Amino acid sequence: MKPLHSIQITAVGAYAPPKVLTNTELSTIVDTSDEWIRSHTGIGERHIAEKEQTTSDLAMLAVEDLLARFGRSKDEIDGIVVATATSDYPGFPSTACLLAERLGTSGPALDVSAGCTGFIYALEVARAMILSNSMRNALVIGAEKLSSVINWKDRNTCVLFGDGAGCVLLEQDSSKQGLLDTLLKAEGAGSGALTIDPGQRCITMEGRAVYNFAVRSIGETILSLVQRNNLTIDDIDWIVPHQANKRIISACAKRYSLNEDAFYLNIEHYANTSAASIPLALAEMQKKGLLKEGQKLLFVGFGAGLTYGGSLLVWHQS
């Protein structure tokens, strides 16, 4: 049997479309301002995909970045797990199957639907499938073309989101500890607070309700993961949160006495990219050289469902 904590992140990659939409440009489309968006969210700009670009295109470019950055070959990939709320087709084929076709893989390929918590859910699905020998290794991808489900007339939502993709390679190595623990939750009673309206294909949201849920769920997840692994918050080198609103992180840090500087934030340049936000941030941290051998990382997310959760892991340089 494979040791429970032997699944590692061994490579990361990311892609954001080159087209950037600034707050000032947005203020010519809806009644908003750079000052309001920055002060209420910390967002300065977002990346927007081309009309013909799909979620699987964004995901594929993130995978190509991973392969190039880490000198890996697509022939090594077995399974694919994609977290997305904006798959190319509302039904089938899944985004993961579209990628399996492009990469020429033959292992399991599936999509996971857990809103902005999707990457954390997908990571756990892939970890469990590797441990049970259903797949040898897995590309775990968060990819979203949220610009395709935005009501550009609704200032309450259109200023918040952006497009992008991030991914990691999960592999087994018994000689080291990798993913240590995962916490996954869902509060279905709140499902109406954040949806993609099926008729209009656009995001609807009760902003305040989601904000309050976010502050509570992030704080509880972090403390719970730390405590049940007999750690203290000072043992965590980086918290990589779902990037939805800088104010949510500040409020959470204040309420739960957490060091705000331990949270890595890049929301200013990407806005909220839903399931892509954590791997996008992680790939940026790797590129900047912020991740060091043996560091403890904590991913934490929340979103539609209402879902939330977190992963605790040890980072290893590849």
Residue 116 or 129: the one with the smaller Cβ distance to ligand UT7 is 116
| CB 7 to ligand UT7: min, Å | 26
Instruction: Read off φ and ψ for residue 108, nearest 5 degrees.
Output: -60, 145
Residue 86 or 272: the one with the smaller Cβ distance to ligand UT7 is 272
| CB 113 to ligand UT7: min, Å | 14
Q: Provide the binding-site residues for ligand UT7, judged by CB under 6 A.
A: 32, 36-37, 40-41, 116, 155-156, 159, 194, 205, 207-208, 210-211, 214, 244-245, 272, 303
The H or E element spanning position 38 is helix 34-41
Residue nearest to ligand UT7 (CB): 207
Residue 205 or 223: the one with the smaller Cβ distance to ligand UT7 is 205
Instruction: Read off φ and ψ for residue 265, nearest 5 degrees.
Output: -125, 130
Is residue 151 part of the annotated active site? The answer reads: no
Distance (Å) of CA 185 to CA 105, 270, 301? 31, 26, 10
Residue 51 or 208: the one with the smaller Cβ distance to ligand UT7 is 208
Is residue 242 part of the annotated active site? The answer reads: yes
CB 164 within 8 A of CB 14: yes
| CB 178 to ligand UT7: min, Å | 27
Strands (E), 58-201: 79-83, 109-112, 138-145, 163-172, 179-186, 194-197
Is residue 116 part of the annotated active site? The answer reads: yes
CB 97 within 8 A of CB 89: no
| CB 27 to ligand UT7: min, Å | 8
Place of tokens 């950037």: 20
SS3 308: strand
Residue 161 or 238: the one with the smaller Cβ distance to ligand UT7 is 161
Name the nearest CA neighbour of 147 among 58, 61, 210: 58
Q: Which of 137, 158, 242, 316 is catalytic?
A: 242
Q: Which of 23, 97, 116, 167 is catalytic?
A: 116
| CB 61 to ligand UT7: min, Å | 22
Catalytic residues, which ones?
116, 242, 272
